[in-house]
Chains A and B, each alone.
Chain A
Amino acid sequence: NAGVTQTPKFRVLKTGQSMTLLCAQDMNHEYMYWYRQDPGMGLRLIHYSVGEGTTAKGEVPDGYNVSRLKKQNFLLGLESAAPSQTSVYFCASSSTTGRHGNQPQHFGDGTRLSIL
């Protein structure tokens, strides 16, 4: 009963390095989301996808890219890591029963990323 799985769980990068965070869900959900959580600021949406092959920008997309080549996977890429991208990153997914957004989002346990 995996739900939403994020890898890796922890990572430390140097400024300028690149990396990809992987999110996988086994619930056959259409919608997937990437958020970042910073102290005292709640969660902010980076990018989201409403189906395989589609992506869209959220509130804070700069410095990130995403891909949804397979329905079950949603990848978040950092092209050139910056210290401001130090954060906890959460992936979530939801189904499309009824109007969009009418189903709760299911979250992974997060990836803790530090940029030195």
Chain B
Amino acid sequence: KQEVTQIPAALSVPEGENLVLNCSFTDSAIYNLQWFRQDPGKGLTSLLLIQSSQREQTSGRLNASLDKSSGRSTLYIAASQPGDSATYLCAGFVSSGSARQLTFGSGTQLTVLP
């Protein structure tokens, strides 16, 4: 069974810092690894999706990497802003036969201080 872990559970940084959020997973047979953002009281917004054949994806100030062999993914946020404050979740997608499932980590709550 796929297990996804995110450490730390919470992170606080001053505005302008570059930061890295970590995600580890136990099953290397994933189809993709997705990073989401969740604002309080809201649903999840997809940030980046890395296919199993890719090493990284970039969108603006965000860069996500994937290393299947070590079971790790990182989300790099450059020049952090107070508006980046949210909970960030990673999820690994496994598809086996008719089963299709995203397994989520419990998230990292990020606070960017002005």
Contacts and interface: CB of A to CB of B under 8 A. Distances in A.
A and B associate in one complex: yes
Interface string B70-100: 0000000000000000000101010100111
Nearest to B105: A42
A102 B100 contact: no
A107 B43 contact: yes
Interface in B12-35: 31-32, 34
A104 B106 contact: no
B46 A101 contact: no
Q: Tell me the interface secondary structure of chain A in the complex.
A: loop
Interface residues of A, number: 28
A75 to B, nearest CB: 18
Interface residues of B, number: 27
B104 A43 contact: yes
Contacts of B113: none
A74 B31 CA distance: 25
B46 A48 contact: no
A38 B68 CA distance: 28
Contacts of B34: 104-105
A22 interface: no
Nearest to A45: B101
Contacts of A33: 102
Contact of B89 (A42, A58, A99, A100): A42
Given A42-B105, A105-B46, A48 B100 contact: yes
B42 A109 contact: yes
A42 B46 contact: no
B42 A42 contact: no
